[in-house]
Amino acid sequence: MISIKLISVFVLALMILPMVSENTASNTDTTKTPIKHLIILMMENHSFDNLFGVYPNNPANNTTGQIIVPINLLSHPVNQNLTAVQNGSFQTSNPTEGYSNYHVDWNNGKMNNFLNGSGPSSMYYFTVNQMAIEWDLAQQFSLADMYFSSTLSETLPNRLYSLAGYSQVKQDQIFPTSYLPVSQTIFSEMSSHNVSWNYYFRNPSLGNYPLDFISGINKFSGNIAPWSSFTNSLQNGTLPDVSFVSMVSGGAYGYSQHPPDSVLPGQLMMLYITEQLMKSRYWNNSALIVTYDEGGGYYDQVAPPVTGGHQLGFRVPFILISPYAKEGYVSNTVMNHGSILAFIDYNWNLPALNYFVSKANLPLDLFNFNHTYSSGNVTRPPITFPDQVNRFLPTSMYFSPLDINSAPNLSSVFPLVPQIPYNSLPYNRTGSSDVNLSQFSSQVYVSSNFGYTPLYFQDHFLEGVSAALILAVIGIAYLQLRRKKKI
């Protein structure tokens, strides 16, 4: 008799076969842009207004008037219930998270019910006193103020969207009861087109969330590595084309900025990775993207739009760091996590991963690929951070977040002197774009997305198991009664 476990394995093998286009040829010798290496750093649970709500306001500095104000609390009326995080504090209690809570917050696009959905903690916002380092990166490079999480839900579904343009689950789960076939992910597409990639955890042996919700991911176990491999690759010349640097799982506690943790360690991680990239041989052809998986229940004023019939989630920060990033630029392009996948496909000449990704706008307006600066170059050299910033710079990715959960007022660190005077920049400092992959081709790598539920987690199987257990218990009790009667 064939065991249930064997049946499940056989079904799983069938389910992870790729439903992909037959044409998998690509030209990976050249990229469509000068970007040869992309690094993705996805943080946790902060909305745009929560972190950049009053950017670039610094009451202690009157030069911030030259900086472009994004769509935030300074440019739009402030909700009377909002409260600034007090000076000296770098954290808030965690807003109430949840699929249902977020829908209450959203209130069909009215964006006025956060107190009832995610509670009082949702109404806090950070200021220059806490966010100066991250604000510096936005000021020196490019910031997007219309970038949204991909679905109106929590971390897990949004992180799966960031890897596959799809999620088989609607909300967070403690352990997998449903899986996404690896053949539907960007990992499969890149590998089939010879685009190199790695996914870096602090220590993969301590966990690899959310990859453990992807069936067949063990096929790519060689692409999963520790943070030390990432920093080594920058130094020894082995950086892959695409790098995912994870601040969650793998023993990475306190780095991701997930409340109630301090937001400072996460900023120091951004600063350290930026500094390491700028010092490496890869600076002149790389881009580092810093964004957030979802809003975490914090207030945001902008109603998330519908894209291709799909309701997006709350607005989150997006920073592009690159020698090609426009200095002090604010993008109004409507994007989501699918836009990062779309850029991978666009840049490495791949078909759109799926239809969702094909409709996601590309972040092209944040890049300067054509206009020369007064130096005659299209690229900008590495930023030279002043001493007041460098004094916060860690010596390794493995610093202890617990050692720096408090710090003095950071307001003196922001703003930095522009690398190139704003009046000398050869481009506008704000703009938008509506370019997506569907405008170039209708071809997609995954034509149909689906999730996989193992047989032993399917409802009808569980019902059968329950019935069988009940019958077994009744049978054992009956036999025991008969035996007692004989005795």
pLDDT tens, position by position, 274-294: 999 999 999 999 999 999 999
Q: For residue range 176-203, list pLDDT tens digits in order.
A: 888 999 999 999 999 999 999 999 999 9
Residue 471's pLDDT is what? 53
Q: Which of 432, 436, 416 is nearest to 329 (CA)?
A: 432
Binned at pLDDT 50, 70 and 90, residue 64 comes out as confident
Binned at pLDDT 50, 70 and 90, residue 2 comes out as very low
pTM: 0.89
Residue 482's pLDDT is what? 46
Q: Mean pLDDT across the stretch 219-236?
A: 98
Q: Which phi-psi region, left, alpha or beta, contains residue 357 (left: φ > 0; alpha: ψ -120 to 50)? A: alpha
Distances (CA, A) of 124 to 53, 93, 146, 317, 377: 10, 10, 20, 16, 42
Binned at pLDDT 50, 70 and 90, residue 62 comes out as confident
* Six-digit token string for 368: 């300067």
**Cβ burial, residue 399 (10 Å; 0-12/13-18/19+):** middle
Q: For residue range 10-24, list pLDDT tens digits in order.
A: 334 444 344 444 333
Residue 407's pLDDT is what? 64
Q: How far apart are CA 302 and CA 371, in angstroms?
A: 32
Q: For residue range 79-133, list pLDDT tens digits in order.
A: 789 999 999 899 999 999 999 999 999 999 999 999 999 999 999 999 999 999 9
Give me the residue label for tokens 């790695």.
Answer: 198
Binned at pLDDT 50, 70 and 90, residue 474 comes out as low
**Cβ burial, residue 263 (10 Å; 0-12/13-18/19+):** buried
pLDDT over 70 for what percent of the chain? 86
Q: Is the pLDDT of residue 171 over 90?
A: yes
Bridge partners of residue 224, in order along the sequence: 199
Q: Which CATH class is domain 4-453?
A: alpha beta
Domain boundaries, the chain: 4-453, 462-487
**Rg over CA atoms, the chain:** 24
As a whole number of Å, the end-to-end CA separation of the chain is 37
Residue 76's pLDDT is what? 86
